[in-house]
Amino acid sequence: MAVDYSVYLVTDSTPAILGDKDLISVVEASLRGGVTVVQYRDKHSAKEDAVAVAKKLHQLTQSHGVPLLINDRVDVAVEIGCEGVHIGQDDMEIQQARKLLGPNKIIGVTAGSKEEAISACQAGADYLGLGTVYSTATKKDTKSIIGPSGVADILAALDAAGHSSIPAVCIGGVNASNASAVLAGSASPHKALDGLAVVSAIIAAADPAAASRDLLGKVITAKIPD
Ligand code: TZP
Ligand code: MG
């Protein structure tokens, strides 16, 4: 499956970010605005509640032809049959997730260093989430803040190690105001980012459809060769 990683929405249902809005409506609006991947990230709900939300999200994403990935919870992804998972360095081993999901599902992995990025590629990751780019109130336990230049260093190392074809997005404090600078500043000579992953820039936005459209426009502009 060819996936467009241009604008990758990661969900958050905590009141500080979602406010009093409804997550399903916000995701629906973001899909209308053009997000290209949705990751359901929910650290708190019991499995049956997470499965119920994930099923609703999957109906929506399927109707827009967009993949739905589940953060951490491989069991939820297996149960609802969505397109894959996103796992961090402290979550399930990539090989174990692959065994549970099968060969055709998407496994994304967070990497904050060259070593983590290359070893995720070697273990069979389908794409990488690089970061944390900027410190963010959305995730306070981030290990390292690497900035766009840190992302560029990882992309260059991936290219040098023969992994130039792995898709990569970056995450952490990215929004419409810094999107163009992040995309430009994180590009290495032979490998650029495929897209931007955001939580609050869309979930906390007053108009999530407009926020998604705005980000997509910036990514498309950055991808047009000079
Ligand atoms: N992983 C690294 S930073 C982050 C995650 C899930 C949160 C990013 O949130 P925001 O609101 O886009 O800064
Ligand atoms: Mg995780």
Read off the pLDDT of residues 45-85 as tens digits, 9 standing for 90 and up: 999 999 999 999 999 999 999 999 999 999 999 999 999 99
How many A from CA of 224 to the centre of ligand 2?
A: 33
Residue type, 205: A
Ligand 1: atom nearest CA of 131 is 2
Q: How far is the CA of 187 from the centre of ligand 1 (A)?
A: 20
Q: pLDDT tens digit string along 86-125? A: 999 999 999 999 999 999 999 999 999 999 999 999 999 9
Query: What are 213's two structure tokens?
Result: 């459209």
CB 202, CB 212: distance < 8 Å: yes
Token match 């990488």: residue?
128
Characterize 127-150 residue by residue with b for buried, 16 or more Cβ atoms within 10 angstroms of its Cβ, and e for exposed. bbbbbbbbebebbeebeeebbbeb
| Residue at 217: amino acid letter | G
Whether the per-residue pLDDT at 224 is higher than 90: the answer is no
**Crossing angle of helices 114-122/147-160, nearest 10°?**
40
Ligand 1 near 200 CB (within 6 A): yes
CA of 88 to the centre of ligand 2 (A): 4
Q: Are 58 and 82 in contact (CB under 8 A)?
A: yes
> From residue 212, how far is each of 17, 81, 203 by CA, in Å?
16, 26, 10
Alpha-carbon torsion (166, 172, 178, 179), positive or negative? positive
Nearest atom in ligand 1 to 197's CA:
12
| Interface predicted TM-score (ipTM) over 0.95 | yes
10 ligand 1 Cβ < 6 A:
yes
Question: Looking at residues 135-153, what average pLDDT do you find?
Answer: 94
Amino acid at 147: G
How far, in Å, CA of 195 to CA of 130, rounded?
11
Cβ of residue 171 lying under 6 Å from some atom of ligand 1:
yes
Task: Name the residue at shortest CA distance from atom 3 of ligand 1.
Answer: 172
Distance, in Å, from the CA atom of 157 to the CA atom of 116, rounded to the nearest integer, reads: 11
Exposed/middle/buried for 25, CB within 10 Å: 0-12, 13-18, 19+?
A: exposed
Q: What is the pTM of this model?
A: 0.98
Going from the Cα of 164 to the center of ligand 1, the distance in angstroms, rounded, reads: 24
pLDDT tens column, 11-27: 999 999 999 999 999 99
Calpha distance 77→182 (Å, rounded): 31
